[in-house]
Amino acid sequence: MSGSVAETDLKGLARPGTEKQSQAVVRSPFRDAMRRLFTNKLAIVGMLMIGTVILVAFIAPWLASQHPDKNGVFEAFPRNNKLPPSIEHLMGTDVIGRDMASLIIYGARISLLVGVFAVSLAILVGATLGAIAGFAGGTVDNVIMRIMDIMIAFPTILLALVIVVILGPGLFNAMVAVGIVAIPAFARITRASVLGESGKEYVMAARSVGAGARRVLWRHVMPNTLSPIIVAASLGIASAILDAAALGFLGLGAQPPTPEWGLLLSRNRGYMFTSPWMVFFPGIAIMFLVLGFNLLGDGLRDALDPKLD
Amino acid sequence: MTQYLIRRLILAIPVLLGVTFFAYSMVLLTGDPAYALAGEHSTPEMRAALREKLGLDDPLPVQYGRFLARIAKGDLGVSIISRIPVATELRLFLPATIELALSAMAIAIVVGVPLGVIAAYRHNSLTDLGTTFGSLVGVSMPIFWLALMMLWIFGLKLGWFPIGGRIDRSVDLQVITNLYIVDSIITLNFPALLSTFHHLTLPAIALATIPTAFITRITRSAMLDVLGENYVRTARAKGLAEKSVVSRHALKNAMLPVITVIGLQMGLLMTGAILTETIFAWPGMGRWVVNGIIARNFPVVQAGVLVFAMIFVAVNLVVDVSYGWFNPRIRYN
Amino acid sequence: MNELLRIEDLQTRFYIRDGTVNAVNGVSYSINEGEILGVVGESGCGKSVHALSIMRLIPDPPGKIESGEVWFDGQDLLTVSDEEIRQVRGGRLAMVFQDPMSSLNPAMTVGFQIEEALQLHLGMNDQQAEDRTAELLTMVGIPDASNRLDDYPHQFSGGMRQRVMIAMGLSCDPKLLIADEPTTALDVTIQAQIVDLMKRLQAELGMAVMWITHDLGVVADMAEMVNVMYAGYIVERGNVRDVFKRTRHPYTLGLLRSLPGLEADPGAELATIPGIPPDLIDLEPGCPFAARCAYANEQCWTETPVLEPTESERHTVACWRWEDIMRGAV
């Protein structure tokens, strides 16, 4: 037998006559995630839905047939009240004759604002608390998480209700209340990520080559922590919009004349039996936007970590 | 197993204390109880005297301690609006909500779990996609809107179901526990039982929609995970029929996350109950507490918040304990 | 001796997003009753997948057993009905898996998991099944077996768990036991124990054993016949002595040479086979080892070699140049 195999060098790793090399494509996980996201049909539907609402909110002044005045009041046309859907009024009119479609179009701005604001608040406070708890450990961790547990012990609406009562009714306070209620979820996620990542080997590896704690946190832990937060953010916006609408429905959130969708529902409730469209459309609007965020959140979850539970 | 139970019970105590403390102090945050009690036309002196009588000027921990002592004795105060002891009102309204919530939860589990199992089993089929989309729609609906729509279609337009109350006015029911189902069974009052179910249907289904959606999704996801596990492959390698593999080997392991979600859903059910009761004129806790909040009826709010939170803690405890049953590993840790 | 299992041209593929994975490419061989066959190869060479294909345990989707015949005890397992294959699985044909922790159901007692098989295939009642299970556990070397029936998998050590899996595999007196890397996940000392246990059991019970591993040492210790697999093909097959001493395939040669020997110079570098196994996705014709082979010629690159007999009938090799290599005329 001639020639030990070990003596041979890398002769002919490529098939003779072709340029075929072994593919060492560098794919960043971010690009992978984006690819997965944009091939997920449901996620795309979600993004389109959200996009539609954002667009509507933007072009409200050109889209709606009625517009609020300086004080946010929509003009009432008592003689046009309770009209069923028609060509003039695609969604009918409400009890004092305002065009429902216009109300709902302007209401889109509010719902989007509420969702984004509340979740931003929740992430800001929650992620900070969670990160502190995760890094500090010990008593600090315990105290923070106990407080989170206590907050979670209350049904969200109840807690939000109580906060709104403390702060006083109104759209802004409702946004704050809904945001506060969402804090524990983000705190937990962040803490779990921090704890989970800190123990991981790549963190220890990074530290073993001299990377300091802050660098480790920033370049290694953060990107992995971001995934669940992003997913929770999208889903959180969905919940926030629902919660705010519920507060509006109970009369403790947005106040008239704000065309907040939940408020519209509650004000027109009494006439539901004779003029159901007044209740139907605001609800559909809520559902449309919330579904969009839920679909996106689901898609993000599948894209960012296919094995994320 | 008992050790595990005891350990979980002990861990629940700090949370309970925190919850009760919050329930007590939050009321004070919303305003001066003396003002609410004495009324608008009271003078500062009257309010000061009232504060002294109620011990509202004592340090917070002392007040809290007194509060705990009172609750322990069962004294929950008197409703400012109705002048009826809160405990009495609680005994009236709590069972109504429990009945509604449990019915909804029963529906959610009975419908959601099998649906989730089927969807997982027929992964990527039309059934699966339909179920996924359906459950996403389910959790995106505002419950108060769904309730209204259901009320309108089934209650008004079709007239199949009553639109309010727990039971037909014409039916006589001897009330013992105030759980109408239980009471009608105990007193062998068949028409009452029927009427109760009739009235329960719409609100329970409306309330059940969201938990069903969640439970379907988590069951499907858990089953998919489990069906990919090695021990399922082993079960198949032993020659077991697919039905056995799914129902005996896979399901038990998949139940863990499902139970977590069921527990969490209880909290959502309470939330939903608050809104559903408002719409169906259901005389339960939700409506009672909300009205109390709006009217600054502190004793009612305190009691309501307390009860809601304690139920939640209790449910979580049950969930924790059943974890131990489903996953023997946790038991022995 | 009678032929127990005969596989003809088995082909299994996986259809995934990135393409089609050619996991098993025309595997053909046979096992006689009572024979011990070792199947060796690197990770991804198809040894596990082909075994799962025999038992029809390939998840479909994304996998598919494309073609081939698997004759076991007079039936072609690939064409029988679902019910018939279920009868065979766990009964006359059993499998022991690699990782006992994940392969045993954590929520069921060990006793139940074995009794289940007994009741299914042998029709035992509860008491009989319990007794037999205790016997089986004792047979595989688990002390105090009857008291451990109600224990859960996590209450056993790794080696004990693997013994439980073996007991489960043996429970219904299989004619062929397939062991898929049963010792890979265990400590070296435990490995030796399990290998000894299997040798003893095989001698006592007389069933045929297919031992899948990447460890040549275990094969040398246990097996009579050996299949060397690479990229979904069998590249060399024969009895252990022939394959180890009169190696004919460059890949097998490379494997054997990469084993550190006791007589080797302590400072010398370990011998390796340069390059990496081919991407199984959309595998092209030609010898799969060509890219790493010192002797590959034009034919090797374009025509896929088939198993041909060497000097001895039973020793076959899939290499166009085996004779040249043997004679040194490269």
Q: Which of A40-49, B155-164, B238-247, C318-327 is least confident?
A: B155-164
Mean pLDDT over residues C247-253, rounded?
A: 89
Note whether B238 contacts C117, CB cutoff 8 Å. Answer: yes
Confidence tier at A215 by pLDDT (50, 70, 90): low
Residue range A246-280, pLDDT digits in tens = 888 888 888 887 888 888 888 887 777 788 888 88
Alpha-carbon gap, residue A94 to C291, rounded angstroms? 77
Optimal mutation site among A49, A242, A300, A308, interface B, most CBs of chain B within 10 A: A242
Mean pLDDT over residues C153-169, rounded?
A: 91
Alpha-carbon gap, residue C153 to B31, rounded angstroms? 58
Mean pLDDT over residues A153-168, rounded?
A: 81
Note whether A13 contacts C301, CB cutoff 8 Å. Answer: no
**Cis peptide preceding B44, ω within 30 of 0:** no
Q: Which two tokens stand for residue B112?
A: 């959601």
Instruction: Say whether residue B295 is in contact with chain A using an 8 A CB cutoff.
Output: no
Note whether B142 contacts A165, CB cutoff 8 Å. Answer: no
Question: Which pLDDT value is given to residue A12?
Answer: 36
Q: Which of B231, B326, B329 sits opposite C104 (nearest CB)?
A: B231
Residue range B291-310, pLDDT digits in tens = 887 777 778 888 887 888 78
Q: What is the DSSP secondary-structure string of A261-293?
A: HHHHHHHTGGGTTT-THHHHHHHHHHHHHHHHH
Confidence tier at A219 by pLDDT (50, 70, 90): low
Q: What is the DSSP secondary-structure string of B182-217?
A: HHHHHTT-HHHHHHHHHHHHHHHHHHHHHHHHHHHH
Nearest CA-CA partner of A154 in C145, B313, B56: B313
Alpha-carbon gap, residue B288 to B273, rounded angstroms? 11
Question: Which pLDDT value is given to residue A123?
Answer: 94
Distant-in-sequence, close-in-space partners of A194: CB < 8 Å, separation ≥ 6: A130, A131, A133, A134, A135, A221, A225
Q: Which of C86, C99, C106 sits opposite B329 (nearest CB)?
A: C106
Q: Which of A57-71, A75-89, A227-241 is least confident?
A: A75-89
Residue range B279-291, pLDDT digits in tens = 888 888 888 888 8
Mean pLDDT over residues A38-44, rounded?
A: 84
Nearest CA-CA partner of B97 in B258, B278, B298, B318: B278
Reply yes or no on whether the pLDDT at C113 is more than 90. yes
Alpha-carbon gap, residue C317 to C314, rounded angstroms? 10
Question: Which pLDDT value is given to residue A190?
Answer: 86
Note whether A10 contacts C274, CB cutoff 8 Å. Answer: yes
Note whether B235 contacts C105, CB cutoff 8 Å. Answer: yes
Question: Which pLDDT value is given to residue A49?
Answer: 93
Helix %, strand %, coil % of chain B (to 5): 80, 0, 20
Contact C9, C2 (CB under 8 A): no
Question: Which pLDDT value is given to residue A5?
Answer: 34
Question: Which pLDDT value is given to residue B33?
Answer: 64
Q: Which of B234, B241, B328 sits opposite C152 (nearest CB)?
A: B328
Alpha-carbon gap, residue C215 to C217, rounded angstroms? 5
Question: Which pLDDT value is given to residue A214?
Answer: 61
Distant-in-sequence, close-in-space partners of C221: CB < 8 Å, separation ≥ 6: C195, C199
Distant-in-sequence, close-in-space partners of C41: CB < 8 Å, separation ≥ 6: C47, C214, C228, C229, C230
Question: Which pLDDT value is given to residue C8?
Answer: 93
Confidence tier at A309 by pLDDT (50, 70, 90): very low
Q: Which two tokens stand for residue C134?
A: 């205790």
Question: Which pLDDT value is given to residue B31?
Answer: 64
Mean pLDDT over residues A187-215, rounded?
A: 71
Q: What is the DSSP secondary-structure string of A238-258?
A: HHHHHHHHHHHHTTSSS-TTS
Distant-in-sequence, close-in-space partners of A187: CB < 8 Å, separation ≥ 6: A125, A126, A127, A129, A130, A133, A144, A145, A148
Q: What ipTM did this prediction achieve? A: 0.85
Confidence tier at A25 by pLDDT (50, 70, 90): very low
With CA atoms as reference, the chain C residue closest to A24 would be: C279
State the burial class of residue A299 (Cβ atoms within 10 Å of its Cβ: 0-12, 13-18, 19+): buried
Question: Which pLDDT value is given to residue A10?
Answer: 36
Note whether B137 contacts A291, CB cutoff 8 Å. Answer: yes
Instruction: Say whether residue C301 is in contact with chain A using an 8 A CB cutoff.
Output: yes
Residue range B95-144, pLDDT digits in tens = 888 889 999 999 999 999 999 998 888 887 888 888 888 989 998 998 88
Instruction: Say whether residue C323 is in contact with chain A using an 8 A CB cutoff.
Output: no
Question: Which pLDDT value is given to residue A3?
Answer: 36
With CA atoms as reference, the chain A residue closest to C324 would be: A1
Amino acid at B290: V
Contact A256, A107 (CB under 8 A): no
Give the dihedral sign, CA C138/C140/C142/C145.
negative
How large is the C-alpha radius of gyration of chain A? 26
Reply yes or no on whether the pLDDT at B19 is more than 80. no
Considering chain C, what is the average pLDDT of its residues?
88
Note whether B148 contacts A154, CB cutoff 8 Å. Answer: no
Distant-in-sequence, close-in-space partners of B270: CB < 8 Å, separation ≥ 6: A155, A158, B97, B101, B286, B308, B311, B312
Q: Which two tokens stand for residue B271?
A: 């939330």
Stronger pLDDT, B170 or C121, i.e. the higher one? C121
How far from each other are the two terminal CA atoms of chain A, in whole angstroms? 56
| Helix axes B2-29 and B298-326, enclosed angle (nearest 10) | 160
Considering chain A, what is the average pLDDT of its residues?
78
Mean pLDDT over residues C199-203, rounded?
A: 91
Going by their DSSP bridges, the two strands C308-309 and C316-317 should be labelled as antiparallel
Q: What is the DSSP secondary-structure string of A179-219?
A: HHHHHHHHHHHHHHHHHHHHTSHHHHHHHHTT--HHHIIII
Backbone angles phi, psi at C177, to 5 degrees: -115, 120
Confidence tier at C70 by pLDDT (50, 70, 90): very high
Confidence tier at B35 by pLDDT (50, 70, 90): low
Note whether C274 contacts A2, CB cutoff 8 Å. Answer: no
Confidence tier at A22 by pLDDT (50, 70, 90): very low
Q: Which of B233, B236, B328 sits opposite C107 (nearest CB)?
A: B328
Question: Which pLDDT value is given to residue B186?
Answer: 78
Alpha-carbon gap, residue B239 to C87, rounded angstroms? 6
Note whether B231 contacts C102, CB cutoff 8 Å. Answer: yes
A155/chain B closest Cα distance in angstroms:
5
Reply yes or no on whether the pLDDT at C110 is more than 70. yes
Stronger pLDDT, C269 or C158, i.e. the higher one? C158
